[in-house]
Amino acid sequence: MSPVSEKKDGVALQIDSCSDSLQLKLSTESNCSLEKPSPSPWSRKRIALAAAASLLGLISIVLVIALPIVIRHRSNHQEIPDDDTTSDDDYSNYSNKENSPILALDNFPDPGLLHFNGTWLAYGTNTKRNDPNTTHVQVATSQDFKNWTKLDGYDAMPTLGGWESGVNHWAPDVFQRGDGKFVLYYSGQSKDWERHHCVGMAVSDGTDPIGPYIPEQNPLACPRNHGGAIDPSPFKDVDGKLYVTYKADGDSVGLGGDCNNGIEPLARVPIMLQEVKSDGVTRVGDPVQILDINKSDGPLVEAPNIIRTENGMYYLFFSSHCFTSPKYNVKYAYSKSLKGPYKRAHRALLKTGDFGLTSPGGATVSHDGTKMVFHANCGEKRCMYATDINIEPDSTITIAGL
């Protein structure tokens, strides 16, 4: 096709077949040798491709940063479904009354447990709240784990540390250190922090586990950002290192509701692990978290207790829900590492209805993993019960008759 031109006032308007374009010339001559303009290196197509590549790169960076956070969050807060939704097939022996725990002591909450020279000793929370005249630390003994005698009128810790008030001493527990003396851990109410507790320590005056115990002048743990600390329990690992596990009392600074932590957002209520020196009272480093609440726990977890079995498995016993609730229970989790992560069992070891019990909790297990004491409601009080337990090779734990 030949060019079509129209000339007006010295300007040639030419439709040129070799350029397929309209060219406006200031000359009357057409020239098919004129070259097309060079395309821009940033054409629309290339701009779109570059934008898409940049977006993909940004998404990759976000995923790299966010995915580990999401995984950790799910691991910490969605460990298992609600305990009460799983089958009780492995707990069929609970229907056998011969396996029922024994009612051992009246009005003896949060029992700690020690076996020394053939004698079992239990240590209990004070019997009256907000009463400065009540015994600070109760003690009871047994030779066979079935028949228990409370030392009425005896106070294992008759004096107090300078940091604590004279009321509300909870959940004592004891271990023997290398020099033959014993260390008592307990929850004491802070004198200058109304209604909040800290983990206290007291060392026996001699080598008798009954005491008396002389309190240290400073607490072992009192994390104000978590509302204080309660429910200490000592643990000695196979390498000789000593630890104290306790509850950071986050529900004490919650927004109200169930046990003061039933309104969203719930305060964190972690179980902590603190290493101590061989004297049992000097901290080594900072505490580490080994558990926190999940949806099956209600407002809190508390009353931690750790044992290690011969096959190297660590078991963490604890309670969840409010102690005044029928949902209060004894749970457990297990790990090949002392510091976790801990895998929760799919069913509470003890809950309301098991063996006719109401609100069982606050358990302590013997170091060999065969016996356990805990409390459950008995009228208006909380009584101590004693039982054997079985730990199966698959880490299932069940109650067994004494």
Average pLDDT in the chain: 86
Same domain, 179 and 62: no
Percentage above 90 pLDDT, the chain: 74
Same domain, 174 and 298: yes
Domain with 72 in it: 44-77
Mean pLDDT (whole number) for 10-30: 38
Residue 328 falls within a domain, yes or no? yes
H helices then E strands: how many in the chain? 1, 25
Same domain, 171 and 303: yes
Same domain, 340 and 244: yes
Residue 84 falls within a domain, yes or no? no
Same domain, 175 and 282: yes
Residue 52 falls within a domain, yes or no? yes
Same domain, 371 and 273: yes
Phi-psi region of 342 (alpha: psi -120 to 50; beta: other; left: phi over 0): beta
How far apart, in Å, do the first and last CA atoms of the chain sit? 110
For 357-387, how does the pLDDT look when each residue is reduced to its tens digit (9 = 90+)? 999 999 999 999 999 999 999 999 999 999 9
Give the span between the Cα atoms of 365 and 113, in whole angstroms: 7
CATH of residue 112: 2.115.10.20
Same domain, 63 and 126: no
At 87, the pLDDT band (50, 70, 90 cuts) reads low
- Tell me which range, 92-96, 126-130, 303-307, is most confidently predicted by mean pLDDT: 303-307
pLDDT of 95 reads: 86
Does residue 106 contact residue 375 with C-beta atoms inside 8 Å? no
Which residue is it, tokens 């078991």? 315
For 314-352, how does the pLDDT look when each residue is reduced to its tens digit (9 = 90+)? 999 999 999 999 999 999 999 999 999 999 999 999 999
Does residue 247 contact residue 198 with C-beta atoms inside 8 Å? no
Catalytically active residues are 110, 302
Same domain, 262 and 174: yes
At 65, the pLDDT band (50, 70, 90 cuts) reads low
Same domain, 158 and 253: yes
At 49, the pLDDT band (50, 70, 90 cuts) reads low
Give the span between the Cα atoms of 330 and 310, in whole angstroms: 23
Same domain, 127 and 151: yes
Number of domains in the chain: 3
Q: Which of 68, 111, 82, 86 is nearest to 293 (CA)?
A: 82
Question: What predicted TM-score, i.e. pTM, was given to this entire model?
Answer: 0.80
Mean pLDDT (whole number) for 242-254: 97
